[in-house]
Structure 1
Amino acid sequence: MRTFFVVVALTILAGYGYAQDLPTPGICGVSLIEPKPATRIVNGQSAIPHSRPYQLLLVGYFPNGTAKAYCGASLIKPTHVLTAAHCVAGYDAKDLRIFPGLHNFTSFVFNRDNGIPAQRHIAHESYNANSLSNDVAIIRLQTAVVVDNHKIGLVCLPDSTSQTCGVNHPVVASGWGSTTGNPNRTSASRPVELQQVALKCVDAKSFGDSGGPLVREKYLNDGRRYVEQVGIMSGTIDCSFSKPHPDVYADVHYLMPWIRNKVQALP
């Protein structure tokens, strides 16, 4: 069964400067609908519709137009998407489509005409599929997404003043993944709030959430809430937890210099 859920944990390195052309908190990271994450993944409740408006679905297509693969992704600018390198590996930009503003897609048809096409994409030059290191990619869209902070919104990225996440700091992952391995996707997204641990591993497993965001909640001086992305779902490995193997997230803090550079390289 596919669920939109949450897993956790990575030792986050020092914060990095914010790209000048990335949105600032208050513009990014906000939602008109307050999220109320569940506390578990298996049999957890669906997310409140559009409470995670930065969450995207990335679909790769065969040349004949048949959908080949699904990944999660996040909207960091109206024209730019953050996802995992393995989600774009082997694809030409013309075969990638982004679907924003989704929640329940029981009757949704994922054909190319319904998605926003990619113009270009860049995967990290040092991405290693075996070690899962540097599993990050930027997609530049052909057309800008209309952001309304209702169905579609932007997620914030760490700036130079961001403090790293500490142990037991709540984080939330989201997507339409599966906790059973069943290839059929569920119709609604499900988030789960767990506690961060000082590892790059998470004690839960999903299917189909690769490239999706791991976020933490923060507050502006005026008390407004916003969310900041701290991880990108990379894959699963055995980190000496009991089965199922835990999820692994690429560290956004560590990757910010690369992200900043590539966003500027894809204006």
Structure 2
Amino acid sequence: MFKPLHAALTALGILALSACSTQSTPTPEAALPAAALPAESLTVTGTAPAFGDLSSQIVYGTVTNVTNRPYQVSVTPSTELAGGWCGGTLISSTWVLTAAHCVDGYSASSMRVRAGINNLTTSTGQLRTAAQIIKHPSYNPSTYANDIALIRVSAFTLGSTVQTAALPGNAVEAILDVNGKSATVSGWGKTETGASSPTALREVTIPITPTGSDCGTRPANTICGKYSSGKDSCNGDSGGPLAAPYNGKFYVLGAVSYGPAECRGYGVYTRVNGFINWIAQNTGIAAQ
């Protein structure tokens, strides 16, 4: 999968989506959201480890479905509904969590949120026009600091394929978001930089850490997706959920933010727990 499916990334070493491959530290010009440029315009830069055939995987992930990931939604401008752009997480029937770079520069009336779909080309599922977009006031498009946003929509009908993910409070965070734990990232992002975007929902489970230098220098309140056999999110996955199960619930630990252009590991995710108070203030939704 690939990070920001914001179709707007340039071929700079790092994309705003999830993470890609090398341990490069993003620079202002390189750390562009993968969602910013069309997938076709992305090229691989830097040196990446050699891997076998990626076939049609998310980057060593697998095809999944919204019954497994019912909190997964797609976030797309009305002009891009046929393709991938960004992902998001349903945190209530009316609120979606995503990355700020996915909605930066767009009006609420131009953005669409789709829930309950496995394939981007389907006409099934539930489609909503955004009623309000709230970007974090300290979002920095040059460094991807505070890369988080909220989208309000008219209520989705919850069911087996459309459900909310829980927000992690400090107690849950201390259990799930620690070095040595793993979490699952999902989306419709590229299966590798330079490849066409898949239309089927995919997922991949990766080791994570809130500390350490695996992903290089990165903004505060982020999670590093450590290297694991090249598994990663990629362009088009931006804003999508990094989630883990606990006590019968799925908790959204992070939102795909950026990573090396090769999409082979070391992706960076906005750490949701670091913005719990901001989310509650704007939505009324508390950590669980």
Q: Does 1:181 align with 2:175?
A: no
In 1, Cα distance between equivalents of 2:146 and 2:193:
25
Q: Is the 8 A contact 1:61 1:96 kept in 2?
A: yes
Task: After TM superposition, give the deviation of residue 194 of structure 1 in Å.
Answer: 1.8
Q: Does 1:195 align with 2:224?
A: no
In 1, Cα distance between equivalents of 2:145 and 2:2:
26
Letter in 2 for 1:217: P
Q: How does 1:16-31 map to 2 (within 5 A)?
A: none
**Who is 1:53 aligned against?**
70
Task: After TM superposition, give the deviation of residue 184 of structure 1 in Å.
Answer: 3.3
In 2, Cα distance between equivalents of 1:237 and 1:177:
14
Unaligned runs of 5+ in 1: 9-39, 220-224
**Who is 1:256 aligned against?**
276
Residues 51, 122 of structure 1: CA spacing in aligned structure 2 closer, same or farther, 3 A cutoff? same
Q: CA RMSD in A?
A: 3.2
In 2, Cα distance between equivalents of 1:231 and 1:174:
11
**Who is 1:127 aligned against?**
139
Q: Is the 8 A contact 2:88 2:241 kept in 1?
A: yes
Q: Is the 8 A contact 1:2 1:182 kept in 2?
A: no
The 3-state SS of whatever aligns with 1:177 is coil
**Who is 1:227 aligned against?**
250
Residues 229, 49 of structure 1: CA spacing in aligned structure 2 closer, same or farther, 3 A cutoff? closer
In 2, Cα distance between equivalents of 1:226 and 1:95:
32
Residue by residue over 1:126-169, the C-alpha shift from the partner in whole angstroms, topping out at 9 and shown as x without a partner, is 0011211101111111x200001x11000000125324221111
Letter in 1 for 2:157: V
Letter in 1 for 2:277: P
Residue by residue over 1:114-136, the C-alpha shift from the partner in whole angstroms, topping out at 9 and shown as x without a partner, is 73011111100100112111011
After TM superposition, the score normalised by the length of structure 1 is 0.71
Q: Does 1:144 align with 2:144?
A: no
In 1, Cα distance between equivalents of 2:120 and 2:263:
30
Q: How many residues align?
A: 218
In 2, Cα distance between equivalents of 1:251 and 1:244:
20
In 2, Cα distance between equivalents of 1:140 and 1:194:
29
Residue by residue over 1:2-57, the C-alpha shift from the partner in whole angstroms, topping out at 9 and shown as x without a partner, is 799x979xxxxxxxxxxxxxxxxxxxxxxxxxxxxxxx843543114521000000
Unaligned runs of 5+ in 2: 6-17, 21-56, 213-222
**Who is 2:118 aligned against?**
103
Residues 254, 73 of structure 1: CA spacing in aligned structure 2 closer, same or farther, 3 A cutoff? same
Residues 78, 49 of structure 1: CA spacing in aligned structure 2 closer, same or farther, 3 A cutoff? closer
Task: After TM superposition, give the deviation of residue 183 of structure 1 in Å.
Answer: 6.1
Q: Does 1:161 align with 2:161?
A: no
Match of 1:213 among 241, 251, 274: 241
In 2, Cα distance between equivalents of 1:172 and 1:160:
20
Letter in 2 for 1:212: G
In 1, Cα distance between equivalents of 2:156 and 2:69:
16
Q: Is the 8 A contact 2:75 2:114 kept in 1?
A: yes
Which deviates further from its counterpart, 226-235 or 156-165?
A: 156-165
In 1, Cα distance between equivalents of 2:2 and 2:103:
21
Q: Does 1:73 align with 2:88?
A: yes
Letter in 1 for 2:269: Y
Task: After TM superposition, give the deviation of residue 185 of structure 1 in Å.
Answer: 2.6
After TM superposition, the score normalised by the length of structure 2 is 0.67
In 1, Cα distance between equivalents of 2:264 and 2:113:
30
Letter in 1 for 2:69: R
